Amino acid sequence: ARSALWGLTKARKEELSQLQVILDKFIDQAMQTDNSSVRRLSLNVVERLELKEDDLRTDFLDFCFEHMMDVEEFPGIQSVCMKLAFRMCSFYPELMDELKRTLEAMEIDYYKPAVKCVRNRILSGKLK
């Protein structure tokens, strides 16, 4: 699974768009696997796919919040979870407010530079 997912991270946008119909399978895989490489690669594929308001899954949003805050999680997973949470929250102002409050409350000294950078880009409005 890891090799196949790695290959997908190299796919062009047009090629990757063919996988839109199995978005939920990538999300499920990311949430259920114990393999951190498979989790990170699955999340990276999800990040490159289109997320619409109808695709919003509260279980996945909770997963992203949990893993972006977990100081024991790998920075690559924390960062992509933060970006995905931002994209999902952008559909609802009240969720965006909650995300920003959560990010502001982070004890930032415990996080790696990649996570700090994504957090700062979200809070400054530079992440689109």
pLDDT value of residue 127: 85
Specify the pLDDT at position 66: 98
Question: Given this model, what pLDDT does residue 1 score?
Answer: 79
Tokens read off for 74: 């790998």
Per-residue pLDDT band for 80 (boundaries 50, 70, 90) equals very high
d(CA 1, CA 81): 20
| Residue 87, CA distances (Å) to 33, 54, 57, 97 in order | 22, 13, 12, 13
Could you report the per-residue pLDDT of 12-63, keeping only the tens digit for each?
989 999 999 999 999 999 999 999 999 999 999 999 999 999 999 999 999 9
Q: pLDDT by residue (tens digit) across 95-127? A: 999 999 999 999 999 999 999 999 999 999 998
**Where are the chain's structural domains?**
1-50, 56-128
Q: pLDDT tens-digit profile of 33-47?
A: 999 999 999 999 999
User: CA 97, CA 44: separation in Å to the nearest integer?
Assistant: 24
Question: What is the pLDDT at residue 77?
Answer: 98
pLDDT above 90 (res 128): no
CA atoms within a 13 Å half-sphere pointing along the CA-CB vector of 105: 9
Q: What angle do helix axes 36-48 and 2-9 make, rounded to 10 degrees?
A: 30
Amino acid sitting at position 97:
D
The reported pLDDT for the residue numbered 59 is 98
